[in-house]
Amino acid sequence: MKTVSGRRSLLLLSLLAVLLASILVFLYLKSSSEQTTTYTESRDLIRQIKQQDSQWESEVLKARVAITHNYDPLISPMNEMNRLWARFESMESGHGRDESTQWADAHERYLDAWQEKARLVEQFKSHNALLRNSLAFLPSAEDDIQAQLANLSDLDKIQLQNIVTDTYDLLLSALEFAQVASADKASDIEVGLNKLAVNAQRLPAVFQTPIRILSNHIALILREQPIVNRLLDQIEAIPVDERLDTITNMLDLDQQQAERTDQKYHFYLLLFSVLLMLSLLWLAIRLIRSFAEINRVNAALQTANDVLEQRVDERTRELKNVQSELLDAARQAGMAEIATNVLHNVGNVLNSVNISSDLISRKLRSSKALGLGKAMQLINEHPDDLGSFLTEDAKGKLLPGYLNQLVGAIAQEQQEMADELTQMNKSVDHIKDIVATQQSYAGANSMTEPLYINELLEDALRMNAGALTRHHVTVVKEYGDVPQVMGDKHRLLLILINLISNAKYAMSDLSNRPRTMTLGVKIVDDGFLEISVRDDGEGIAPENMTRIFAHGFTTRKDGHGFGLHSCALAAIEMNGHLTAHSDGPGQGALFTLQIPLITVTENA
């Protein structure tokens, strides 16, 4: 009874230790958060947006004082702010913050401020362009007047001296107004324009056009300069920076809350760690006592030398058996990878067999042939008056037409099921070929036969048709003009089925754009047949490109890493090669198979 009670206590203590370990794992997972990393990246994005906003205002001021005459710098910060904001929203939506009313309000206020500022900058560009053009013309207008004065006699110059002086004063007032706009300057310019209009009537005809153009430009400066200044004040008053500071403060509050939560989980983690250590300590003490008891029993058993000798002999035989098993395992280790790849490829083709068998089963359950029984029942009900029933009865008159329709429907069903059985036979034959492929790994030569590559691609698509339809994948076919070639059908089909299946899986999480797979066939210049499979899916990370074809490597949770490895081996066995290319995560991937081009005529 004491032994049973001790074992029960030991079992309960072990269960308690397992429970505490599970709690520790849970707390560790809860305390491991990417909140800090996301917070730092979000803060950095907000800081960059603020920098772009400052640069935007700086470019506006440069355009105002004519440091730059190109308005493209006014567009670049705006586009960069828009790009950075899109990254920020994408990052924050992953944490569910966009579902908060407070966050949504802050985001909306920022976007309103940004859009208003963009609108004002567009107005500033148009008005400032008019203002700068007029200011740039003033020296030319002065040169035109000087040129006309140079053609006058000295007496005429003396008579027009006062008018010319007033004109120059007006020109200087306009330039001063462009630098410091004030009501007094505006009044002086208006008076000067009125005087110039009166004096222009006393001037010779050659002065009329330059004076009129000068007056128009000075009037435009008088009108546009206050508008430009007002737009600058409005742009400066747009609270984009304040809206960004509000979002930054909200990020700080969320980070503080996340840190408090992490501290709470770390405290619980420490507490349960102490409890686990105490449990393990107690368990160790119990184990030590158990080992002491075992040692006592072993000491008693040492007295039986004959039993010990027997045990030595048995152990020797066991070691010999283990050695023999290890030798067998070593011989079979080289075949383990082959068997794994064969099972993986058979599983891919069995998916197509399951789809075809399910379709045939559903067609049989809903077959139109069931209506034949109903028709025969009507005929059997009138064995004696069948002729009159078919010619006079309302149902009997319809029976011949119904039977004709039934014959057509049954014939169509038989044709559809025959097509599916043909496809199923192709899949079963391909399974046989895959199993037979194992001989190639033992040194057997591959079997080649005449093939139309386009038809082989269509077979591979049909074997994956059900999965492609479920995942809403659109297939784009870019088939070149390729003659009939000699090739290893089952190896090519193995590669195509795996590549199409992988492309479909790569786009399974794609929701922001259509899922498109592009299949291509062409002949390249160096005498190779090139088959390509392109997808718009998750892409391949740069660090995974060097091991994408390694045995057992996979990025899918339910993957095994056998498909691409077996495809690469099959390509090598056909004296070709299989390559992968991707511009990075989210950019899709392109798999290209190149094998020597051997046409049927060349082989003959």
Q: What's the pLDDT tens digit per position in 129-160?
A: 887 787 777 777 766 666 666 666 666 556 56
Contacts of 173 (CB under 8 A, 6+ apart): 185, 188, 189, 192
Are the C-beta atoms of residues 28 and 53 closer than 8 Å to each other?
no
3-state secondary structure at position 560: coil
Q: Where in 198-256 does DSSP place strands (E)? A: none
Q: What is the pLDDT of residues 353-379, one digit of tens each?
A: 777 777 777 777 766 666 667 777 777
pLDDT band for position 170 (50/70/90)? Answer: confident
* 59: its two tokens: 């470019």
d(CA 82, CA 465): 41
CATH 1.20.120 fits 2-125+238-261, yes or no: yes
Percent of the chain's residues with pLDDT above 70: 76
Residue 340 confidence (pLDDT) = 52
Indicate the burial class of 381 (C-beta count within 10 angstroms; 0-12, 13-18, 19 or more).
Answer: exposed
Are the C-beta atoms of residues 552 and 490 closer than 8 Å to each other?
no
d(CA 23, CA 282): 19
Q: What residues form DSSP beta bridges with 591?
A: 533, 580
Are the C-beta atoms of residues 167 and 257 closer than 8 Å to each other?
no
d(CA 282, CA 13): 8
Q: Per-residue b/e over 326-349, b at no fewer than 16 CB within 10 Å?
A: eeeeeeeeeeebbebbbebbbebb
* Res. 578: pLDDT tops 90: yes
* 306: its two tokens: 């004959």
d(CA 504, CA 12): 49
* Res. 332: pLDDT tops 60: no
Which of 412-421, 470-479, 517-526, 565-574 shows the lowest per-residue confidence on average (mean pLDDT)? 412-421
Residue 301 confidence (pLDDT) = 64
Residue 206 confidence (pLDDT) = 65
d(CA 295, CA 547): 52
For the chain, what are the domain ranges?
Answer: 2-125+238-261, 130-231, 323-438, 446-603
Please give the average per-residue pLDDT across 558-568, as a whole number. Answer: 81
Residue 494 confidence (pLDDT) = 87
Contacts of 60 (CB under 8 A, 6+ apart): 74, 121, 124, 232, 235
Note the pTM of the prediction, 2 decimals: 0.38
pLDDT band for position 348 (50/70/90)? Answer: low
3-state secondary structure at position 515: strand
Q: φ and ψ at 517, to 5 degrees?
A: -120, 130
Are the C-beta atoms of residues 323 and 473 closer than 8 Å to each other?
no
Residue 468 confidence (pLDDT) = 86
Percent of the chain's residues with pLDDT above 90: 14
Residue 440 confidence (pLDDT) = 44
* 108: its two tokens: 């909306």
pLDDT band for position 329 (50/70/90)? Answer: very low
d(CA 17, CA 380): 77
Please give the average per-residue pLDDT across 102-116, as a whole number. Answer: 86
pLDDT band for position 452 (50/70/90)? Answer: very high
d(CA 169, CA 157): 17
CATH 3.30.565.10 fits 446-603, yes or no: yes
Range with the largest mean pLDDT of 18-32, 125-139, 445-459: 445-459
| Amino acid at position 180, single letter | V
d(CA 53, CA 305): 92
Please give the average per-residue pLDDT across 43-49, as a whole number. Answer: 87
Contacts of 532 (CB under 8 A, 6+ apart): 518, 519, 520, 521, 590, 591, 592, 593
| H helices present in 151-207, as ranges | 154-159, 161-179, 183-200
pLDDT band for position 3 (50/70/90)? Answer: low
d(CA 42, CA 457): 47
- The label of the residue with tokens 């939506």 reads 93
Residue 240 confidence (pLDDT) = 85
